[in-house]
Structure 1
Amino acid sequence: MAFLVDAWQFVVGTLLPFLVVLTLIVFVHEMGHYLVGRWSGIGVTAFSIGFGPELAGFNDRHGTRWKLCAIPLGGYVKFFGDEDVSSSSTDQSALDALTPAERARTFPGAALWKRAATVAAGPIANFILAIAIFAVLFSLYGRRVADPVVSEVRAGSAAEEAGIRTGDRLLAIDGVPVATFDDVRRYVSVRPEMRIVVTVERGAEKLDFPMTPKRTELTDQFGNKMELGVIGVVTDEAAGRFRTVTYGPLEAVGEGARQSWHIVTGTFDYISNLIAGRMKADQLGGPIRVAQASGQMATLGVAALLQLAAMLSVSIGLLNLMPVPVLDGGHLVFYAIEAVRGKPVGPNAQEIAYRIGIALVLSLMVFATWNDISMLFSRT
């Protein structure tokens, strides 16, 4: 009986929120491809959420098969003229048999700019989704902020060693202005063991304090551990004047765009720290960790789950723009080469590149999943 209860809690508390978040992100990504492809005059044979056997579906009046498949870890849009769902290969003999008008409706027969726009539309749709979600959340709930005024300097911290004092107002870090305490945390967290210069206001003086954030393992309310850069300053209600900032519709969109941009820059900061050895690779998570995070955010409410969806949407959009064959970014690289050369990359070269790309993506998935499994066992 206990097993059934645990299984039910897993399905409702973890699996269902994960599938809702993933389906939303995948649907919007593929809809970006679909809408721009259709707008460009390219025919679509299938729009699928998931892979594998079809569970349900229907045909629309344009001849597109809309379907839901058994393995809900992704999706695809298949265009006319594609031999496979990745648009990576073409049945040339079938294309040669088409009339010029029919060929123009195929993906490989479309103009270069139409193919590039159709491919780029997927990741762009992910960014738009994230901005829209953040904008709605900021419009409805505002944003909780605090002034970057120090109420406490932790003993033995980088800030104490540098000479920061209680009451100091942080003005800038490395010349970048900071308006809120979150700005400080965001900038410092991705710079462990990197020298920074903190500018503070102390009375009528402006002082610069060089320091190096310490790489510190932190644990969130759910027990998840992460390594971040920390300088050891804290604010409180009195010093930081905690308050909720409200936004109008246009302001919320702008703030949503800024929030999405922070995720992009944070991702590149993490990659550079990973290469430099300042952060561990075990923080790279896969589907298990995403599912776990979905369940955890669901316990905090719909707003928290939507915020996670927005963050993941940016990450998936950015991942798809990486210049790796089989990803959207890899296709765009091939189109850029085609634009320069005046002709497509040869089929043999494309085949080799796609094989390498598949190997890289699968290796990344295996590594991320291994991290997820290791994390689960470390908690037992």
Structure 2
Amino acid sequence: MNTVIAFIIIFGALVFFHELGHFVFAKRAGILCREFAIGMGPKILAFKRNETQYTIRLLPIGGYVRMAGEDPEMIDLKPGFRVGLLFNQDETVQKMVVNNKDRYPNLRVVEVAEADIERELFIKGYEEGEESLQTFIIAKDAVFVEDGVESQIAPWNRQFNSKSLGNRAITIFAGPLMNFVLAFVVFMIIGFLQGVPTQEPLLGALLEDGAAAEAGLQEGDRIEGINGQSVSEWSDLTAIIEENPNTEVTMDILRNGDAQTFQVTPDAVEVEEGDEIGRIGVYGPIETSPSPVQAVVFGGEQTYFFTLMIFDALGKLITGQFTIDALSGPVGIYKSTEIVAQTGIYNLMHWGAILSINLGIMNLLPLPALDGGRLLFFGVEALRGKPIDRHKEGMVHFVGFALLMLLMIVVTWNDIQRFFLQ
């Protein structure tokens, strides 16, 4: 149960902040956001506030902000169409009832002669019992009512594609950006609460079966020198140890003011095929009461480090050094979360921050249906000086989405085989 809760919290936070980036910048640009969704598939919870419906959906494979204009708008009032109109106090059309008109006793039914519900916002038509053509002005926040369900209209200036290229680009880029911001904030909180590494040549926690513990070293020992070389920073210590796998070294230390000498043989750890480095099984020293500035610096350093690490792994995947079997989907992430959750809240926060960076990077890849793919189309639009045909772009994104879903199925099946069928 703890794993389920941890997974829901982490997944929910990653998707929420990603979509929040899209949502905030869309609203800032004046775009009508019809839905803010966490998850995909059937709704399990929904409520509406102002003009946006907020939903939680069944499948934990993403989320979305449904912005007006991204999909074809709802209803086109063609000539001859009969629609019921309800008016507000300003005598402008507030509701357009498509069917079940008998539910609204105050409706004025109009046969449409001409209508523009995007730019000019008017309906011209003949009201029942009247022979003269009338013009009705539509309110900017008017709604369609079909089968009892209300849907707000989206005037052209509230639609995504009406906005400048810069506003559209930042709205899409803001989603991945928020994942990096979230990771930075989480790392910063970890640093502030748990402590941040320092460069002091002091031994932190020791692994019970590590070479340092077996040689008699203790947490808090200050390393003065190794093999006669002076050690003034933690990086000096690690550099010398890494250069001496399976080779005994002499370590001069200070323990409670007393100088002592120990013989330590670093274990050999393979980092690449044929390459080994030394490890003695000890963590670096931690500043347990860091200043806010230290915590901020730590958050930035950790975000930068894991960003580079994920890009490196992505490069190996592209060049074939990793195979698709190395990828994990929701099932693999759940199992990893289960393992990490058993090691403490700080490690779980650390894991969530890494996943957030990973989500941000994956979404920035220039692939159809991803944020990076949409940004790529914006780049082409900037070069051409005009947008690509929306139908062609939509088809590319549709095919890309289908392929991504296929990849998700393959990765999930690999996870199931790895964790449950072996």
Q: For the pair shown, which has the larger CA radius of gyration, 1 or 2? A: 2
The yes-or-no answer on 1:325 pairing with 2:368 is: yes
Please give the alpha-carbon distance, in whole angstroms, between the structure 2 residues aligned to 1:92 and 1:184.
72
Q: Which moved more, 1:359-368 or 1:119-128?
A: 359-368
| Mapped partners of 1:302, 1:253: distance in 2 | 20
Give the CA deviation at 1:331.
0.8
Letter of the structure 2 residue corresponding to residue 103 of structure 1: W
> SS of the residue aligned with 1:340?
helix
Match of 1:36 in 2: 25
2:303 aligned with 1:260, yes or no? yes
Question: In the aligned structure 2, how far is the partner of 1:169 from the partner of 1:130?
Answer: 38
SS in 2 for 1:99: coil
Unaligned runs of 5+ in 2: 78-114, 121-139, 141-154, 203-209, 213-225, 244-250, 253-268
2:315 paired with 1:315:
no
Q: 8 Å contact 2:196–2:298 — kept in the other structure?
A: no
- Residue aligned with 2:235, SS: coil
CA drift at 1:279: 4.1
| Letter paired with 1:295 | E
The equivalent of 2:171 in structure 1 is: 118
**1:233-287 alpha-carbon deviations (Å, 9 max, x no partner):** 01355xx7x4213532233222212211222211221123334444454321111
User: Which stretch of the first structure deviates more once superposed, 45-54 or 132-141?
Assistant: 45-54
Query: 1:312/1:182 Cα in 2 relative to 1: closer, same or farther (>3 Å)?
Result: farther
Aligned to 1:69: 57
Hey, which of these two has a bigger chunk of helix by percent? 1
Work out the CA distance in 2 between the residues paired with 1:180 and 1:122. Answer: 40
Give the secondary-structure state (helix, strand or coil) at the position aligned to 2:17.
helix
- TM-score scaled to structure 1, two decimals? 0.70
Change (3 A) 1:351 1:333: same
Q: Measure, in 2, the Cα distance between the counterparts of 1:294 and 1:71.
A: 18
* Corresponding position of 2:70: 82
Give yes or no for contact 2:196–2:294 (8 Å, CA) kept in 1.
no
Amino acid at match of 1:139: F
Q: CA deviation at 1:136?
A: 0.3
Call closer, same or farther: CA 1:179–1:92 in 2, change over 3 Å. Answer: farther
Q: Given the alignment of the two structures, is residue 98 of structure 1 paired with residue 140 of structure 2, yes or no?
A: no
From 48, 60, 64, the equivalent of 2:49 is 60
Q: Does 1:130 align with 2:183?
A: yes
Please state how far the C-alpha of 1:120 moved relative to its aligned partner. 0.5
What is the TM-score when the length of structure 2 is the normalising length? Answer: 0.63
Give 3-state SS (helix, strand or coil) of 2:367's partner: coil
List gaps (5 residues or longer) in structure 1.
1-11, 84-88, 154-165, 172-176, 189-201, 204-211, 217-228
Change (3 A) 1:178 1:122: farther
- Higher RCO, Cα 8 Å, sep 6+: 1
**Between the two proteins, what is the percent identity of the paired residues?**
30
Distance 2:323 2:237 in 1: 26
1:305 is the counterpart of 2:348: yes
Number of residue equivalences: 308
The equivalent of 2:161 in structure 1 is: 108
Structure 2 distance, partners of 1:50, 1:330, is 21
Cα–Cα, structure 1 residues 126 and 57, in superposed 2: closer, same or farther, change >3 Å?
same
Instruction: Provide the secondary structure at the position in 1 that maps to 2:162.
Output: coil
Distance in 2 of aligned mates of 1:267 and 1:168 = 38
Q: How big is the shift at 1:313?
A: 0.5
The question of 1:245 aligning with 2:233 is answered no
